[in-house]
Amino acid sequence: MNIHSFLADGDQQSKQYKYVINSTRKVQEHRTNDRSKSTLGDSYLRSFALKSAQQGDYTEAIALLSQLISRHPHNAVDYNNRGLIYFQGGERQKAFYDYNTALNLNPNLASAYNNRANYYAACGELAAAVADYDQAINLNPCHVRAWINRGITWRDLGQYEEAIENFEVALLFGQLEGHIWAERGRTYHLWGDWNCAIADYRRALTQLPSIDNSKDITGCRLRLQLENQLNELLSESAS
């Protein structure tokens, strides 16, 4: 179970998402008419890019963010968001370039460090990933995703105690509990503590969405992995 590519930081204007869903016609008008250079127009584009990415239309999302970058070439958040979508679409080098550009523009953007760390982790450069997760947490100690991702990376390095410590800190923030219990359970599983693993897997399943929930693909994928691992562990315990 590895969720580096999923626990990334996306669009920081996500609070506008529901508003845009209710204003799709206006959004589409902005897409076809680029005469408006107002902040409102920019927020529409960012939010519609988020919606497109969530629906799996990465080409559309990248086009919208590229349009924003052409308008505001010094906006680190737009580069970070485009990098995230490139990464989700499998274009890792383009993602890496955008993360680096974002950090050159804003060295204090914690989410860009977390996203770049995910890139390093996916490439097997685990020491570099830990360094970037460290930086994300230093800049934002409440960065839950960075705590989780760093825990996963410590586990991949075989440092199970450090991994558990990261997951336990992440639980203090009251977010993403299903993901955290799943990853802590997997760590206990690999560490050989099957009782703790089973307990955490069962806790995680109470939080994760059902398999047929189309609105949370990441959560559904994690649930499926978790159910398979729990069944495997229960069968091993019974034998």
Domain 141-239 indexed as CATH 1.10.3810.10: no
Q: What is the pLDDT of residues 170-195, one digit of tens each?
A: 999 999 999 999 999 999 999 999 99
What pLDDT score was predicted for residue 24?
35
Tokens of 201: 């897997």
What does the alpha-carbon distance between residue 137 and residue 162 come to, in Å, rounded to a whole number?
15
Interior/surface letters 16-36, b for 16+ CB within 10 angstroms, e for the rest:
beeebeebeeebeebeeeeee
Q: What is the pLDDT of residues 113-162, one digit of tens each?
A: 999 999 999 999 999 999 999 999 999 999 999 999 999 999 999 999 99
Q: Say what angle helices 177-191 and 144-156 make with each other, to 10 degrees.
A: 20
Tokens of 12: 């920081």
145 within 8 A of 153, measured Cβ to Cβ? no
Q: Alpha carbon of 230 to those of 151, 155, 205, 209, 224: distances in Å? A: 20, 18, 10, 16, 10
Tokens of 187: 């760590």
What pLDDT score was predicted for residue 30?
44
Q: Any idea where the domains of the chain sit in the sequence?
A: 1-123, 141-239
200 within 8 A of 181, measured Cβ to Cβ? yes
Q: Which residue has the tokens 């939080």?
A: 207
Nearest to 92 by CA among 69, 61, 67, 124: 124
Alpha carbons within 13 angstroms on the beta-carbon side of residue 21 total 9
Q: For the chain, first and last CA: distance in Å? A: 24
pTM reported for the whole predicted model = 0.82
| pLDDT bracket for residue 2 (50, 70, 90) | very low
Give yes or no for residue 60 having a pLDDT over 60.
yes
On the question of a common fold for 1-123 and 141-239, the answer reads yes
**Homologous superfamily, domain 1-123:** Tetratricopeptide repeat domain (1.25.40.10)
Mean pLDDT score, 78-101: 97
183 within 8 A of 148, measured Cβ to Cβ? yes
CA dihedral 81, 135, 144, 156 (to 10 degrees): 100
175 φ/ψ angles, rounded to the nearest 5 degrees:
-130, 150
Q: What is the pLDDT of residues 10-48, one digit of tens each?
A: 644 333 333 333 333 444 444 444 444 455 588 889 999
For residue 205, give every residue at least 6 positions away whose Cβ sits within 8 Å of its Cβ, in sequence order, or none: 178, 223, 226, 227, 230
What does the alpha-carbon distance between residue 125 and residue 226 come to, in Å, rounded to a whole number?
26
What does the alpha-carbon distance between residue 92 and residue 221 come to, in Å, rounded to a whole number?
22
